A and B are shown apart, each in its own frame.
Chain A
Amino acid sequence: MEETLAVEMRHVRKYFASSNVLAANDVDFEVRQGEVHALVGENGAGKTTLMNMLYGLVHPDHAEIYVYGEPVRISHPDHAIRLGIGMVHQHFKLVPSFTVAENIMLGIEPNQFGFINGKSEAEIVRELAQNFGLPVDPNARVSELSVGMQQRVEILKTLQRDARILILDEPTAVLTPQEVHELYNVIRRLADDGRAVILITHKLLEVKEVADRVSVMRRGKMIGTHDVADVTIRDMANMMVGREVILQVEKQPATPGDVVLKVENLLVAGMGGVPAVFGVSFDVRAGEIFGIAGVSGNGQTELIEAIAGLRPVDGGRIMLLDHDITDVNVRTRRTEGMAHIPEDRMTMGLNLQTNLDENVIVTSYQKPPFSSYGILNFQPMRELAARLAKKYQIASARVGEEIKTLSGGNLQKVVLARELEGEPKFIIANQPTRGVDVGSIEFVHKTLVEERDGGAAILLVSVELEEIMSLSDRIAVIFEGRIMAVLDAADATEEDLGILMAGGTLDKKE
């Protein structure tokens, strides 16, 4: 049986001169009609780049691309759309102040004498939503929709443009577990309809659940394509990393000690002065990992910034080791034993425009031996950098060169190395493995557990439920700036957490 492939890419090669990365090295990739095809790989493996080339956003140095058997050269997304290719990006490209219908019809508005006919727009969208079983109110403003609904709008947008090949870039990163399951159903339906769905992801569980076939990329090379039924999660992980990976976090039960951080009735304003954290209280003890679960954008950022001293507090108190640090500056908090692994290592955790030495001393440059009388001493800086690079296996950080060429995992290790130097008593770990490759995730997790066992109190924030559940000793769920419940990690189920994360309560269950 010879069927036409939906997409066939042969000998794709792409080199980025600016970052000196070979993102695709003679890659072959094919997708059948009517299948869900997962494209997996660590961050920086080249999977998004490969799909951007299919969508015309990035131009390959060399490639043979066939869409439904026809050889094509895709120069621009418009061209890709005409070929029936649709892409839903990780960061949605919607206009928040427009309605759903206006967003979906943007650029292809039905018009009369040059005037947009709003009424028929809404009708077209309603019909479209009905046909695909993706109910959505065409007249709702996008800014008022939940993230899951916004994603649905993005998918409808591609369908309205007759996409036969759908590319979804990490679609579940921002969804609650319930929304994720709904999305899986949608993806299945689209595939059963004869469309080809390409799912870019690094979550292997997801691949098992929804995909028919899986292609694994590693460092710009295609490692192989398999039927999902024939491979285990462990196999896929090994293909991604190129070696054996331990997926489970190994840890002993916690032995919590005294309270290290105490937060009382904390009130914090977010963007534009709108309250983002409403009277949150909790405490973190020495020797435990306290996890905060929640869908991103529910006040986690504001809460963490307030504790770290980066955002003013409007009410309540923060106590670190019995000192009131509510209004204390960052440096004092740090000298009192606080360490902070921030969510965004590119702009907050590191200065990519300078070298490793200057990055590792940023919390201690003002003290000897790194400086005396206001003059920097380079020798101790270099020694510290070399020691940390060795201890944390930060590969190939070249002396004196800007660190921006390091991979995500290595950058995170630099942050970790600096923050954990000097035995902090309280560690904030905000999304510590976001955008980090599988090998480094393992390392980060192991390091955090080691710090816990050494007696540090750790506040972990993550939108990855799996991470929260496997690392934490106690779990708090945050929703719209309030802590919904604090559970013992041993008793928490994914389902319960999912309900709490969506704003529900567990009362009815009992």
Chain B
Amino acid sequence: MLKRLQIVGGHAAIPLFAVLLGLVVGSFFVFLAGANPIQVYDQLFCEGFGSRGCETFDDLLIVEAENDDGELETHFAPFYGERGHGMAIVLEKATPLILTALAATIAFKAGMFSIGMDGQLVLGALMAGFLGYWIPDQIYAATGVADFEAASSVMRTVMHIVVPTLAISAAMIVGAIYSWFAGFLKVKLNVNVLISTIILNAIAVQFVGYMINFPLRADFNNIARTRAIDDSAWLVPFTRGLFSEIEWFRGSRTGVGIIIALIAAFVIWFYLWRSTSGYEQRMTSGSSLFARFSGIATEKAALRAMLISGALSGLAGAIMILGVERRIVDGFASSGTGFDGVLVAILARESIAGIVLVAMFFAGLQQGAINLQFGDLPRQLGGIIIALIILFSAMENFFRETMSRIRHRIAPDAMTQTSDDAVPVESG
């Protein structure tokens, strides 16, 4: 047990170190912007992860607030939800990141370096956004009911289940097909997946942009947008439904989406590490020659991974539209959420639990960075700090070697011992 803890600690040490280095080097840019790094980081993390009234790092853990009687009370900050909590917004923003990071991981774990999450996501979003009003329209036309308000409660319930399910399924199918296409090009024609997915992303983004601006444009609003989805297609946020009593969620549009994302994370973990199909694709990514040699249908395994990957991206797009945005506005297509998912996957190093944590961290930083600009600081500062953290975390091997070397310097004899274990020779 202790050993297992040590291993987990070893895995976590380097990302934490990378975050620290990213912040240290990032302070250089903060200085350039003419601010005090400590204050900026206080603000960045408070806006991202803190409760209301959070001002410094300390407030992330313990916060003091006046209660109704005007007395000061001490609260454990993560549970202090008066007027909403930063973490609730983190949950909202992390949902698509978790899903697209899962999508990237499952593709990587089949040896396919697909970064096509962006394209699949926007196509899935378009599909869900369209079906989100089109299906209800058909139902109302067929039943003669005027709209959602006029429907009976039974009909409402049925529609609330059927419409989102259909829209989400369609979005997942669209994403899967689009992703499969890149896989097919790789398997049959040996087209580099990285390149084909970049191209497919560009095509999808342009296509969705066109659809929003012309065929699906709803009105003459300044910024082109589609019609809003029907209320029956809406994945109602916690604040309006399930947990409307809980203050903690105030200001956040998170809802069923985060639950779906967490379930997806578990399912993907199970698939990769417990199922024979997952085993096949992991062996394929470890060494495709090895997999072929052993009789594994490597092409099938790779294509299956691409299908699942695309479906997850499509799901991410559907949740963004049905749960958060409720319509597609011009500019949505080029927001790059899918690519952020790739970064999360890389930072999490193929660990599913890691994806959930990193996605939240990422979402918090992004949220904090947006709010930085309400001070005098450029929003780009947050982007720079995130980029630096990614850069440092990519230096994993360098850190590992260095740490190992330092340990070796400190206790060379101990290392000699382990090196004997590591290179065993039979004793006869």
Is chain B's binding surface mostly helix, strand, loop or mixed?
helix
Q: Are A15 and B424 in contact (CB under 8 A)?
A: no
Q: Which of A110-118, A153-161, A360-368 contacts B (4 or more CB under 8 A)?
A: A360-368
B272-308 contacts to A (CB < 8 Å): 274-277, 279, 282-283, 286-287, 289-297
Q: Are A396 and B421 in contact (CB under 8 A)?
A: yes
Asked if B408 is at the interface of the complex by the 8 Å CB criterion, the answer is yes
Q: Which of A165-173, A329-337, A445-453 contacts B (4 or more CB under 8 A)?
A: A329-337
Q: Are A375 and B276 in contact (CB under 8 A)?
A: yes
Asked if A352 is at the interface of the complex by the 8 Å CB criterion, the answer is yes
Smallest CB separation, A357 vs chain B (Å): 11
Asked if A52 is at the interface of the complex by the 8 Å CB criterion, the answer is no
Smallest CB separation, A238 vs chain B (Å): 11
Is chain A's binding surface mostly helix, strand, loop or mixed?
loop
Smallest CB separation, A20 vs chain B (Å): 4
Choose among A22, A219, A244 the residue that contacts B425 (Cβ–Cβ < 8 A): A219
Q: Which of A144-152, A200-208, A229-237, A342-350 contacts B (4 or more CB under 8 A)?
A: A342-350
Q: Determine the chain A residues whose CB is within 8 A of the CB of B286 once the complex forms.
A: 351-354
Q: Are B292 and A362 in contact (CB under 8 A)?
A: no
Smallest CB separation, B380 vs chain A (Å): 37
Q: Are A395 and B279 in contact (CB under 8 A)?
A: no
Choose among B290, B404, B426 the residue that contacts A349 (Cβ–Cβ < 8 A): B290
Smallest CB separation, A150 vs chain B (Å): 27
Interface size class of B (residues with CB under 8 A): 35 or more
Q: Contacts A219-B425, A351-B283, A407-B425; is A365 near B419 (CB within 8 Å)?
A: no
Asked if B67 is at the interface of the complex by the 8 Å CB criterion, the answer is no
Asked if A103 is at the interface of the complex by the 8 Å CB criterion, the answer is no
Encoded as 1 (CB less than 8 Å from any A CB) or 0, chain B from 377 to 404 comes to 0000000000000000000010011001
Q: Are B294 and A362 in contact (CB under 8 A)?
A: yes
Q: How many A-B residue pairs have CB under 8 A?
A: 123
Residue of A whose beta carbon sits closest to that of B401: A17
A398-438 contacts to B (CB < 8 Å): 405-407, 409-410, 437
Choose among A18, A348, A353, A366 the residue that contacts B401 (Cβ–Cβ < 8 A): A18
For B292, B397, B412, which residue has the most chain A Cβ atoms within 10 angstroms?
A: B292
- A437 CA / B424 CA spacing, docked (Å): 12
Encoded as 1 (CB less than 8 Å from any B CB) or 0, chain A from 106 to 126 comes to 000000000000000000000
Smallest CB separation, B52 vs chain A (Å): 46
Choose among B275, B291, B297 the residue that contacts A376 (Cβ–Cβ < 8 A): B275
- A375 CA / B277 CA spacing, docked (Å): 8
Asked if B373 is at the interface of the complex by the 8 Å CB criterion, the answer is no
- A365 CA / B296 CA spacing, docked (Å): 10
- A44 CA / B276 CA spacing, docked (Å): 35
Residue of B whose beta carbon sits closest to that of A406: B424
Query: Which 3 pairs show the lowest CB-CB distances between chains A and B?
Result: A331-B295, A17-B404, A395-B424
Q: Which residues of A contact B (CB under 8 A)?
A: 15, 17-22, 25, 42, 44, 219-220, 241-244, 308, 310, 329-331, 333-334, 340, 342, 344, 347-354, 358, 362-363, 365-366, 371, 374-376, 393, 395-396, 405-407, 409-410, 437, 439-440
Can you sample 13 A-B contacts with CB below 8 Å? A20-B419, A21-B423, A330-B292, A331-B295, A334-B294, A342-B293, A349-B293, A352-B287, A354-B282, A354-B283, A362-B291, A376-B274, A437-B425
